[in-house]
Amino acid sequence: MLTDRQLLILQVIIDDFILTAQPVGSRSIAKKEGINHSPATVRNDMADLEELGFLEKTHSSSGRVPSEKGYRFYVDHLLSPLQLSKREIVTIEQAFQDRMMEFERVVQKSAGILSELTNYTSIILGPEVFETKLKQLQIVPLNEQSAIAILVTDTGHVEHRTFTIPVEMIPSQLEKMVNILNDRLKGVPLVGLYEKLQTEIYELIKKHTDEHELAFSYLQAALLDEHQTKLYIGGKTNILMQPEFKDLEKVRSLYAIIEKENEMASLLRSDQQGLHIRIGHENRIDAMQNCSLITASYTLGNEQVGTIALLGPTRMEYNRGISLLNVLSKQMTDTFKEWY
């Protein structure tokens, strides 16, 4: 059990290190307002905190820096809520004012705002495919050989997929096929498209379309997408601004992970609803073990739709990040409830 004085010193050290990224010494702590103890007394408590694993001593300074254990204790027991400014709250709310904006643009805009307000990297995981249903399908010919399939989901997400039109298919047959699809696939979950195509849709296309085998194979290519995960990333280069990431190899490894959408999505998806914080080695991915990851879920009705995350150094402003994620996740949940 830490004493009240040790709790105070630990909090002062972590708050100071978050702001400066510089090791904190006993003399600087003793000079702070509210610290009525001599440098020698502070130094003794710092040594005890180091022995308990809450602080670490650097080679280049007599000061101390927080350990991962120290950050975890700080987040769990010492963190105070941060009141966001009115300007910050208005900035977030304005992202959702345009009701004509597509879901994808709203989320991408939200990721950008979050990264700008924190100077960290923001990552938003879009709606889970198994919760998303097809609302409308359009096929727009580009020329005689190719067309774009436009899929609109019930969450407002829009997918564009280019595919080749069989040379044997005339425009009237293409139009007939689209009518069949819209009639029979509306409201079908995206993960159920394969089964529906293989059974009912196949029989209808076979009945109404010449060269049905060829047409069906191209249709599958247009509608069945293996890359169903959707990540929206803001402020990827913000990592370069943090002194912890001057090592280019660290940055390169971290960038490589962020680019792997399925791996990042799996990481974000592993948390349950609510807010979660993973610090340093609590992240199972090696490249992220110098980072902290704060995640918060947003919902559509009673179902979890996606996850908002902030990725930054372990020396991140946790109270600020938590407050922003709470506001943004609530705003997204409330807005999507109204829209859909």
Mean pLDDT of 283-292: 90
Which residue did the predictor score with more confidence, 129 or 45?
A: 45
One domain, residues 239 and 297: yes
DSSP string covering 32-96? STT--S-HHHHHHHHHHHHHTTSEEE-SS-SSEEE-HHHHHHIIIII-------HHHHHHHHHTT
One domain, residues 74 and 175: no
Of 171, 198, 223, the residue at which a domain comes to its end is 223
CA dihedral 245, 248, 254, 255 (to 10 degrees): 120
pLDDT of residue 270: 63
**Averaged pLDDT score across all residues of the chain:** 85
One domain, residues 170 and 318: no
The string of pLDDT tens digits covering residues 124-160 is 987 665 467 888 888 888 887 788 888 888 877 787 8
Which residue did the predictor score with more confidence, 203 or 272?
A: 203
- Judge whether 129 and 228 are in contact, CB under 8 Å: yes
One domain, residues 253 and 330: yes
pLDDT of residue 227: 47
Which residue did the predictor score with more confidence, 176 or 50?
A: 50
CATH number of the domain to which 268 belongs: 3.30.450.40
Tokens standing for 114? Answer: 């979050």
Buried b (16+ CB within 10 A) or exposed e, 187-217: ebebeebeebbeeebbebbeeebeebeebbe
pLDDT of 224 higher than 70: no
pLDDT of residue 213: 78
What does the alpha-carbon distance between residue 243 and residue 14 come to, in Å, rounded to a whole number?
16
CATH number of the domain to which 167 belongs: 3.30.390.60
Residue 90 makes CB contacts below 8 A (sequence gap 6+) with none
The string of pLDDT tens digits covering residues 80-130 is 889 999 999 999 998 888 766 777 788 889 999 999 999 999 999 876 654
Phi, psi (deg, nearest 5) at residue 48: -65, -40
Domain tally, the chain:
3
Sign of CA dihedral 335, 337, 338, 340: positive
One domain, residues 216 and 234: no
% pLDDT > 70, the chain: 90
pLDDT of residue 225: 59
- Judge whether 115 and 325 are in contact, CB under 8 Å: no
Strands 291-300 and 303-313: antiparallel
pLDDT-based confidence at 278, cuts 50/70/90? very high
pLDDT of 222 higher than 80: no
- Judge whether 42 and 30 are in contact, CB under 8 Å: yes
DSSP 289: T
Of 223, 245, 271, the residue at which a domain comes to its end is 223
Which residue did the predictor score with more confidence, 220 or 254?
A: 254
Of 203, 223, 243, the residue at which a domain comes to its end is 223
* Residue 92 Cα to chain centre, angstroms: 16
- Judge whether 237 and 245 are in contact, CB under 8 Å: no
pLDDT of residue 191: 60
Residue 240 burial (10 A CB sphere; 0-12, 13-18, 19+): exposed
One domain, residues 122 and 240: yes
Residue 97 makes CB contacts below 8 A (sequence gap 6+) with none
One domain, residues 235 and 98: yes
pLDDT of 229 higher than 70: no
Which residue did the predictor score with more confidence, 136 or 70?
A: 70
One domain, residues 17 and 142: no
- Judge whether 318 and 311 are in contact, CB under 8 Å: no
- Judge whether 68 and 279 are in contact, CB under 8 Å: yes
- Which residue range(s) make up the domain with 163? 131-223
One domain, residues 67 and 118: no
- Cα distances (Å, whole numbers) of residue 307 to 68, 77, 197, 266: 24, 25, 30, 11
pLDDT of residue 27: 92
pLDDT of residue 69: 97
One domain, residues 238 and 332: yes
pLDDT of residue 302: 60
What does the alpha-carbon distance between residue 185 and residue 179 come to, in Å, rounded to a whole number?
10
One domain, residues 316 and 243: yes
Top mean-pLDDT range of 33-47, 203-217, 227-241: 33-47
Residue 181 makes CB contacts below 8 A (sequence gap 6+) with 137, 201, 219
% pLDDT > 90, the chain: 39
- Judge whether 48 and 6 are in contact, CB under 8 Å: yes
One domain, residues 110 and 259: yes
